[in-house]
Amino acid sequence: MASSAPSRVVETLREEILNGTLVPGERLRQEDIALRFGASRQPVRDALRQLEGDGLITMVANAGAWVSKLSERECYEAYQMRERLEPLLLSHSIPNLTGQQIKRLSDLVRDIENSHDIEQFLRLDREFHLLSYSGAEPGMLREFVERIWNTTQHYRRAYVKLSGLASSEVTHLEHKLILDGIVHGDAVQAGQALEGHIRRTRITLSQHKEIFS
């Protein structure tokens, strides 16, 4: 059975926002989307509300829907939240990670280091971090973390484009430290490395305010 119309719309639009096809500030017309998916406007409205709930788009009554934008302050705040939430989530996840998953994490660290195109880097980096959380039970904490990742994705891409892949030497070291903590089941080490990883990214990001113009 094919999933419902609204969920197909949600999935597709979410993907397009995350991969940069749709950029922050871009308007989403209900009619256009309905036409594109061969559906009427009701399921589209449903889908837009869901995306709004995920923070990916912003709706204004009697006006329309736009892909959400973050100010530099909001992005800074998002990273402060990540610093506090992700080590917690990782500590919930580590005890439940399987050998297979840890192997994949290890491969990802290597592939990230060897990646030479920006989209690939972003995709692998995202997979590494989110996979490292996959041992945690589903719940609010995982939802929140994923939501922060989604709403900041565009600015992460903008930053990597700006500074280039070459400058991510420290990132690779941090990934190795996190992985080492995971491998040894040491949530404290992994958590501290992760916190530092996010913290450094936050500070670096705040030195490139031009991303938010």
**What residues line the site for DNA (CB under 7 A)?**
4-6, 28-31, 38-43, 45-46, 59, 61-65
Q: Quick check: 46 binds a second copy (CB under 8 A)? A: yes
Q: Which stretch binds a second copy (CB under 8 A): 25-33, 47-55, 119-127, 180-188?
A: 47-55
Residues 98-137 that bind a second copy (CB under 8 A): 137
Write phi, then psi, for 54 (nearest 5 degrees).
-80, -5
Among 20, 55, 64, 196, indicate the residue that binds a second copy (CB under 8 A).
55
Cα–Cα distance for residue pair 67/144, rounded to 1 Å: 19
Partner whose footprint covers residue 186, from DNA, a second copy, none (CB < 5 to 8 Å by kind): none
30 binds a second copy (CB under 8 A): no
Q: Which is nearer to DNA, 29 or 73 (CB)?
A: 29
Q: Give the chain's end-to-end CA distance (angstroms, integer).
A: 44
User: How would you list the strands of the sheet with 57-60, edge to edge?
Assistant: 27-28, 64-67, 57-60
Please list, in sequence order, all residues whose beta carbon lies within 8 angstroms of the beta carbon of residue 7, skipping any fewer than 6 positions away: 47
Nearest distance, CB of residue 13 and DNA, angstroms: 13
Q: How far apart are CA 174 and CA 35, in angstroms?
A: 46
Q: Are strands 57-60 and 64-67 parallel, antiparallel or unpaired?
A: antiparallel
Q: Which part of the chain contacts a second copy (CB under 8 A), choosing from 14-22, 53-61, 106-114, 186-194?
A: 53-61
Q: Which does 28 bind (CB under 5 to 8 A by kind): a second copy, DNA, none?
A: DNA
Number of residues that bind a second copy (CB under 8 A): 30
Please report the DSSP string for 41-74 in residue order. Answer: HHHHHHHHHHHHHTTSEEEETTTEEEE----HHH
Gap between the Cα atoms of 82 and 143, Å rounded:
12
Q: Is the Cβ of residue 75 or residue 160 nearer to a second copy in the bound state?
A: 75
**Cβ at position 146, least distance to DNA in Å:** 23
Question: Half-sphere exposure of 61 toward its Cβ, with a 13 Å CA cutoff?
Answer: 0
Nearest approach in angstroms of CB 19 to a second copy is 22
Q: Enumerate binding residues for a second copy (CB under 8 A).
A: 4, 7, 42, 45-46, 49-50, 52-55, 61-62, 73-74, 77-78, 80-81, 84-85, 88, 92, 137, 139-141, 144, 148, 151
